[in-house]
Structure 1
Amino acid sequence: MLSSRLLRGVVNPARRLYSTGVWSDFSKRPESLKLIDQQYQNDLLKGIDPEVGPASIEQEDRKLAYHSPVAIDETFAMAYELLQTESKAVYDQIAVEKDQAKIDQLSVKAEKYNPEVLFNIENFPEKIDREQPVYRKYLKELWESHDKMLTMQRLEQHHVIPDTLPTLVPVAEVKVKFPHNTASEFKSWVEPGTILPAFAVSKPPTIQIQEFERIAKDSLYSVILVNPDTPDLDTNTFKTTLQYGLCNVPLSNSDISIDTLKLLQHGDKYTFCDYEPLVPEKNAQTQRACLWVFRQEKELPVTNLNKERDSFDIRSFTEQHGLTAVGAHMWRQAFDRSVNAVREDYNLGKGRVFHRVKRNQPVIDYSGINVV
């Protein structure tokens, strides 16, 4: 019986070595470096039972049809043992190192080729322990390979830079979603630059801020949402409106979300300007919701901060309070059928109606006027 199971690859002597060595010793290593799913871990480190098939394949017929490549177990075992030996040497260095920054660097070096770590980051990115430097390293690489470039492209394409702040060197990933929505197209993370209807942004967003370098627990952050496209009839141009203001929000490498629950518990401590969604007016241009995230040098006096929404000067505000921009996000809005209902919910009164035709005279509010 045992010999037949060996031939089928269920019990592979080459993989018995995986139960010893530094990558299987969690006495001095966090358990979060272990593969999150037990069945996946068994397949990876003990071999796939051909009578069951891989856990990573859901379709039953495909599970049983799967065959491992020839000699993959032996090749994997040799590579695993070589990399684990190299990792052990790095952990020996960590044991005598005192500097935390150096320890973080060595920790990444010791775990970056661990197949369990790689499998976790590939398949369970929302469940990983973000306190671990190796996971943050791979998250940063994923961010830099696409989302960072996309965000900066949209911020510059839509002139969020320099219309709100002059520049940005992003060091943190900023993600935004509006979980009050039920439709899948509106409840997921918002791609920067997306045009959203008023009803989809009618409640405060969940904001996720991921720092990749080690930060102190309870580091303080501010979030400012502005609309630089509010029509100003007096000057025939546009002014910036403050739509949302948060400060003194404590975050860490693993506690990265500003959500409804956190604000319900501590909203008075964090909110210096309540959320008010953009409500573009009829025939006005598309408006930009520009969300900026800042590190704080010290705790800010919530009660004394500028709470005036109208003609908000974000540049002088950030300079006055020593705020350092670490990331940003943006979405866009135009007038739609849900705007009036949102205006009513927030007691904003009736919106203005602008004329579509370009004219030589300044912009005029044509509400209630018979235009010839």
Structure 2
Amino acid sequence: MLRSTRRLLPPRGLSRPLSSQISATAQPNNWKRPLEVGVLPAYDEAVAYIEKDAAAKREKLEALRKVADGSLSPGELLKLEIESKINLPQVRWNFENNQMDLNQPVYRHLLEQKWRTKGRLDRLMERIYQMHVVPDVIPIIRPAVDVRVNFADTVTPRYISTPRIPVPEKKWAKDLSDVVPGSFVSPAKSVEHPKVMAQVFHPEPRLYTLLMIDPDVPSTATSSFQNYLHWLIPNISLSASSNGAISTTKYTPSIPYIPPHPQNGTPYHRYVLLLLPQREALSLGADDIIRLGFDVRSFASQHGLQIAHEDANSSAGGIFMWRAIWDNSVSAIYKHILELPEPRYGPPPRLDPYLDEAGQRPKKYPELPPHVHMQAPSTRITPRAEQTVHNVINS
């Protein structure tokens, strides 16, 4: 059977392929209609339909705002405003080319939907529950803030080497400028605090508190694990249009940053960043907060931080986590930064049932006291034995 070799002809009026005309007419820094009117009638009809629908929804929105009788909630009006712009080609082009104005609800909606539906939030929640951050650190969380971590700009001191992470290579954080949740970052790369980026989706400024917690510090008293507070920054003002970089030059930490230092002999440690909404401005003193044994739940309850929104269907706050395991750089952190002797943990020693109370194994044949002497066995032959031997010889 012969394969047809006919080439598809371009639509009438096109002397070049459609893709070449689009690339030739589109501007890289400013949106422009990719095809002139009349070049492709189907495209003209589609654009006209979208613009007509958008104009009708704008008219309806203006009419409802003038009435303002309370029949529609602010959320329903916001939804109608987004629907009136979301399908416009210019809006879509601006969003895809990162030329959006986040003061406009339609761009905030598109940005949030991209975060929620394109896999980033799904991967974060998978790691949070798979690695038991919930419920080990917090009972529940429904993130409403896109939190990202950047270690690429941190500087490693000269006295700290960068050893190979003792985990499989596929679990390393390959891109330190945008760390994947749950991946491994060497303690040598986190000596300085990371650059934390937080993208919120509400237009008005709101206050947040940043917490960094390690829930995997050994507790010898309970033979279990306990929390360690590495970092605490309150009163962080964030809005959709503001720069989401959380900088210590702009915000003063209540608890200064202490780098991750997973102890020798322990499994990997989880380092959890929490960005929790505040109800009001906080005044925190470092003397009132204890790093070791820090209780997230009681701290949030005491200072009015929202771990989860009161409405079960709503979201609040943000979360991020990465992992680290002991390597040689931790020893330098203990020596030069913490200025503490480095502890070492491991499995408990096996009990030997043959050891005494002093930890000594008793001898199999105990020694007698010096004044006790055992008599050597007698070699004297009794008369009866002598007569028996004489009878055997003479027989």
Whether the 8 Å CA contact 1:206–1:257 is kept in 2: the answer is no
Structure 1 distance, partners of 2:28, 2:234, is 38
**What SS does structure 2 have at the residue aligned with 1:78?**
helix
Whether the 8 Å CA contact 2:214–2:271 is kept in 1: the answer is yes
Shift of 1:105: 1.7
**What SS does structure 2 have at the residue aligned with 1:121?**
helix
Structure 2 distance, partners of 1:91, 1:9, is 38
Partner of 2:127: 154
5+ unaligned residues in a row in structure 2: which ranges?
Answer: 1-12, 157-172, 308-316, 352-395
Given candidates 287, 292, 313, the residue that maps to 1:310 is 292
Higher helix share: 1
Given candidates 168, 174, 178, the residue that maps to 1:189 is 178
Shift of 1:142: 1.9
Question: How many residues align structurally?
Answer: 299
**What SS does structure 2 have at the residue aligned with 1:245?**
strand
Q: Partner letter of residue 234 of structure 1? A: A
Is 1:142 the counterpart of 2:114 in the alignment? yes
Q: 1:38 to 1:215 in 2, by over 3 A?
A: closer
Is 1:235 the counterpart of 2:222 in the alignment? yes
Whether the 8 Å CA contact 1:36–1:120 is kept in 2: the answer is no
Q: TM-score, normalised by structure 2?
A: 0.68
Structure 2 distance, partners of 1:74, 1:160, is 55
Shift of 1:121: 2.7
Structure 2 distance, partners of 1:358, 1:123, is 58
Q: Partner letter of residue 338 of structure 2? A: N
5+ unaligned residues in a row in structure 1: which ranges?
Answer: 1-5, 16-34, 48-70, 362-372
Q: TM-score, normalised by structure 1?
A: 0.72
Structure 1 distance, partners of 2:138, 2:350, is 31
**What SS does structure 2 have at the residue aligned with 1:226?**
strand
Structure 1 distance, partners of 2:143, 2:190, is 25
Q: 1:44 to 1:304 in 2, by over 3 A?
A: same
Given candidates 226, 240, 255, the residue that maps to 1:253 is 240
Q: 1:297 to 1:45 in 2, by over 3 A?
A: farther
Give the percent of matched residue pairs that are identical in Structure 1 and Structure 2.
25
Q: 1:240 to 1:129 in 2, by over 3 A?
A: same
Structure 1 distance, partners of 2:95, 2:217, is 42
Q: 1:233 to 1:182 in 2, by over 3 A?
A: closer
Partner of 2:363: none
Partner of 1:44: 34
Structure 1 distance, partners of 2:27, 2:321, is 34
Whether the 8 Å CA contact 1:294–1:327 is kept in 2: the answer is yes
Shift of 1:208: 2.4
Q: 1:167 to 1:348 in 2, by over 3 A?
A: farther
Partner of 2:54: 87
Partner of 1:353: 344
Runs of 4+ in 1 over 6 A off after TM superposition: none
**What SS does structure 2 have at the residue aligned with 1:187?**
coil
Q: 1:349 to 1:170 in 2, by over 3 A?
A: same
Partner of 1:297: 279
Question: What is the RMSD computed on CA atoms of the aligned residues?
Answer: 3.0
